[in-house]
Structure 1
């Protein structure tokens, strides 16, 4: 049983966790920013990117629109450090 618990703990530490901020209004009307971060492993940047993109998409979809990303800023490249993604986006009508 101890071996199983140790294996589960080791896997959980490699997966890490991800979190995001609330969407905030940008400097210009109709622009927004959301940031996300993730830790644990070399692919943490991908989880941070995916979470930020999903938050932007969900925000616009809740308003019956679609998201359009204008810029993404990423940070963190070393394994086992916090990786982050900040996405600037706009919501546009669906065509």
Structure 2
């Protein structure tokens, strides 16, 4: 195999392992005025960080779209192994901007 093909193959593998995070819809929690944002990511050692960042982004975007700011609460995470799916579930509230 040529060096170019090896490099291209390695680049493709790295891109797959880097992965990306996906998010679900923001939903209302059991307490009025409290919402839940969830996200998941796979591939690599920092999948948990991508899932967390995406969930925080979803919460922030949700409140921003209402002219408010997000107040993050409890976060629940799942996934320990490097190559398994990592989940981040964040409870949050939207409050008026100061």
Which of 53, 56, 61 is the equivalent residue of 2:56?
53
Name the CA distance, whole Å, in 1 between partners of 2:44 and 2:26: 26
Name the CA distance, whole Å, in 1 between partners of 2:70 and 2:7: 43
TM-score, with structure 1 as normaliser? 0.94
Q: Give every structure 1 segment of 4 or more consecutive aligned residues whose post-TM-superposition deviation is greater than 6 Å.
A: none
Kindly indicate whether residue 26 of structure 2 is the aligned counterpart of residue 9 of structure 1. no
Q: Which runs of 5+ in 2 are unaligned?
A: none
The CA RMSD measured in Å over matched residues stands at 1.0
Kindly indicate whether residue 83 of structure 2 is the aligned counterpart of residue 89 of structure 1. no
Kindly indicate whether residue 41 of structure 2 is the aligned counterpart of residue 27 of structure 1. no
TM-score, with structure 2 as normaliser? 0.91
Name the CA distance, whole Å, in 2 between partners of 1:37 and 1:16: 11
Q: Which runs of 5+ in 1 are unaligned?
A: none
Name the CA distance, whole Å, in 2 between partners of 1:33 and 1:64: 18
Name the CA distance, whole Å, in 2 between partners of 1:29 and 1:22: 17
